[in-house]
Amino acid sequence: MAPRLFSDLTINVTNFFRDDVTFNLLERNVLPALVNRYKDKLRRIRIWSAGCATGQEPYSIAMLLLELLYRDIIKWDVTIFATDIDTKVLNLAKEGFFTLKEVDGVRSEWLERYFSYENKGFRIKQILRQLVTFAEHNLVKDSPYHDLDMVVCRNVLIYFTNLLQTRVLKNFYKVIKEEGFLLLGRSEALVGETRRLFQLVDSKAKLYKKKDQLEDRKEKETFQKSVYNRTLLYKKRAY
């Protein structure tokens, strides 16, 4: 890929708890709902932060989950897969070292709990780091993770063509579990036929829920029937 194009596609701007609306919803609704769903049986949560840049997004989600589960975290199997196409930013993410300016969005009690002060900056503590698994991954080419309770893909698809967005969103649909969530960036939305696959939960945060396959099949059948009826009507008129 030409270097210019690569750098266009890898704008890695990010923040801890980027977008209050989104993270308030995760903290108050989405993550408590997942914990509630699994607390009696599976006790397993799998989230994918796709296009995680320098890691603030997955670490923010990990902090929220740790706050929710607290001491019970040891009884749970929590994994946040955090991937990016850009090796350089991924290495920084894995390092987990942030400047004072970069930790600006982190509540002071969480800064104390989940970071240690080091060389005029802050390093993620092991308790937080161990929840996040980083890997290089190209959304366009590589096969996606699976069995996911939520895919968080924010401010990534905005740089893709409609065709690529559709392909990636369809992949997400296949790997999100029934009742699972999809979170996009605030200026992103579903495109084309993928609108049929998810139902909007919150329009400001761009939070969607996967529609179940039965519902999807019914909608598809209704759509096909209406196309068939319209074709019949058209043929009748033509006679």
Size of interface with ligand SAM, in residues (CB under 6 A)? 23
Question: What is the spatial distance between Cα 127 and Cα 130, in angstroms, rounded to a whole number?
Answer: 6
Task: Among 61, 65, 145, 155, indicate the residue that binds ligand SAM (CB under 6 A).
Answer: 155
Question: What is the spatial distance between Cα 199 and Cα 137, in angstroms, rounded to a whole number?
Answer: 27
Task: Among 26, 53, 148, 205, indicate the residue that binds ligand SAM (CB under 6 A).
Answer: 53
Q: Is 57 in the site for ligand SAM (CB under 6 A)?
A: yes
Question: What is the spatial distance between Cα 155 and Cα 135, in angstroms, rounded to a whole number?
Answer: 18
Task: Among 89, 93, 148, 169, indicate the residue that binds ligand SAM (CB under 6 A).
Answer: 89
Cβ-based nearer residue to ligand SAM, 27 or 211: 27
Cβ-based nearer residue to ligand SAM, 173 or 211: 173
Helices 31-38 and 56-69 pack at an angle, to 10 degrees, of 50
Q: Is 33 in the site for ligand SAM (CB under 6 A)?
A: no
Q: Is 74 in the site for ligand SAM (CB under 6 A)?
A: no
Residue 64: CB atoms within 10 A of its CB come to: 18
Q: How many residues comprise the chain?
A: 239
Q: Is 13 in the site for ligand SAM (CB under 6 A)?
A: yes
Q: Is 156 in the site for ligand SAM (CB under 6 A)?
A: yes
List the structure tokens of 90.
């991924």
* CB-based contact 185:157 (threshold 8 Å): yes
Task: Among 128, 185, 197, 211, indicate the residue that binds ligand SAM (CB under 6 A).
Answer: 185
For residue 9, the minimal CB distance to ligand SAM (Å) is 5
Q: What is the DSSP string of 104-144?
A: TTS-HHHHHHHEEEETTEEEE-HHHHTTEEEEE--TTTSPP
Q: Is 172 in the site for ligand SAM (CB under 6 A)?
A: no
> Which chain residues interact with ligand SAM by CB under 6 A?
9-14, 18, 51-53, 57, 84-86, 89, 137-140, 154-156, 185
